[in-house]
Amino acid sequence: MGVFHRYDVRGIYPSELNENLVEKIGGAFATFLQPGATVVVGHDARLSSPALKNSLIRGLTECGVNVVDIGIAATPVVYFCCYKLGLGHGVSITGSHLTKEYNGIKFCDEAGIPISNEKGLKKIGELANSENFRVGNARGKLTEKNVEDAYVEFMKSLTKNNFSGKKIVVDGANGSAGKLYARILKESGADVVEIYCEPDGNFPNHTPDPMKKEFIVDLEKKVRESAADVGFAFDGDGDRLAVVDNNGVMCNPNHVFAMLAEDVLKDNIEKNKNDKKIVHDVLCSKLIDDVVAQNDGVSITWNVGHTLTATKCFEENALMAGEVSGHYFFREANYTDDVMVACLKILGVLKNSGGQLSELTKKYPRFYEFQDRIPTRADAKFKFIEELKQYLEKKYEIITMEGVRVNFENGWMLFRASNTEPVISMGYESSDADEFEKIKKIADEIIKKIPR
């Protein structure tokens, strides 16, 4: 099935992903689980999400699985229901950061860890395709549950700070997280200005992708107009975060990650704990390695993808992890990519330091860097990367842990096929201007060869 990817299900509604198919996927997930299992189901603000959710629930219950419907919910809230409330496995109906034409499904286990191909998603896809569902069991029960208050109280319990005196602008992108996240910040004492926090699946103001600068210009403007301390932008299901500083300028995600890593390492030292590991993806700047080392930590470079990152965090007992795409993983949230935890920690740094975000991030060295996501044909992206590996290994020593990466004396270059979209993700950086231009020329020639 073309809608099944390595980490989740995604497709255009209704031509690729529709009620009939989602009901089959529900039956497949139920068959994948044990009879009598319970699944928490939430959905985002997309116009197609309620109907798809109902179809999924029908498929689950008809194959003997019980369902707890939590209504419209950020994906991290679904994870919370699993790892903290112990309600079972989880499913979020969401198109995440994609445009309104898309929708999708994210699955997680009882610990709130997303289910990837390696953990069972491939099997679920095979079951949906064969329609070889488990039959003969009693129909599952459907209950509804409001978990918002429990999630709010848990988030508030993770910080000792009261953020009175801090002014924050929240851009909810008309997704499922804005109102809830704004409430948490307000109840933590902050003065919160909301923009686009009302759920609206038409996404009338901008696409819910905070990592693209063109979609946070309104947030930058509102931070300046409000004389706010910081701005937070979330994606459609609330598991990606972009940060705007007090000058109304989008922060480099590597600088945000470096600040968070430094904070958790210092806090760990104060508690006299020896675990000092920070996990980051291959697209992160060398800055992360440098900052972690300077704070007596251990940095671990790992593959892109929330499932792989969370699994690595458990293996290493890491303090936290981050991806340049705006996902952050903390031990306190069982290594789920819950960006509300990141927001609270950023505010804690501002509160405890007494400084402004623009000044706190200014200390980090500036690398010459570039990142982009190049559209390509879905049927050609993986083949292109394999051919690129063969081409580059004739000229350079390559690293193939994730796509293909070449290290230079003062920098690096990486190309990888997205597991969820028809794009090639790429990036390069260097601490040396001349070398950066050299890498740019190499990368530009490669980009010309990407199938369109």
Distance, in Å, from the CA atom of 25 to the CA atom of 13, rounded to the nearest integer, reads 15
How large a percentage of the chain has pLDDT more than 90?
90
Q: Share the mean pLDDT of the chain.
A: 95
Which residue type does 257 have?
F
Q: Is 96 a catalytic residue?
A: yes
Partners of 352 in the beta sheet? none
Which band of pLDDT confidence, cut at 50, 70 and 90, is reported for residue 6? Answer: confident
Catalytic residue among 48, 55, 92, 96: 96
Distance, in Å, from the CA atom of 313 to the CA atom of 321, rounded to the nearest integer, reads 7
Tell me the pLDDT tens digit for each residue of 329-344. 999 999 999 999 999 9
Tell me the pLDDT tens digit for each residue of 271-313. 767 789 999 999 899 999 999 999 999 999 998 888 889 999 9
How large a percentage of the chain has pLDDT more than 70?
100
The topology under which CATH files domain 150-244 is: Alpha-D-Glucose-1,6-Bisphosphate; Chain A, domain 3 (3.40.120)
Domain residue spans of the chain: 9-146, 150-244, 253-362, 368-448
Which band of pLDDT confidence, cut at 50, 70 and 90, is reported for residue 392? Answer: very high
Q: What is the mean pLDDT of residues 67-89?
A: 98
Which class would CATH give 368-448? alpha beta
Q: Are strands 230-234 and 277-281 parallel, antiparallel or unpaired?
A: unpaired
Domain pair 9-146 / 150-244, same fold: yes
CATH 3.40.120.10: does it fit domain 9-146? yes
**How much is the pLDDT for 306?**
82
In this model, does residue 152 exceed pLDDT 80?
A: yes
Distance, in Å, from the CA atom of 289 to the CA atom of 118, rounded to the nearest integer, reads 28
CATH tag, 253-362: 3.40.120.10
**How much is the pLDDT for 291?**
96
What's 333's DSSP letter? Answer: G
In this model, does residue 79 exceed pLDDT 80?
A: yes
**How much is the pLDDT for 413?**
97
ω into 375 cis (within 30 of 0): no
**How much is the pLDDT for 80?**
98
Tell me the pLDDT tens digit for each residue of 358-377. 999 999 988 999 999 999 99
The packing angle between helices 19-32 and 49-62, to 10°, is 40
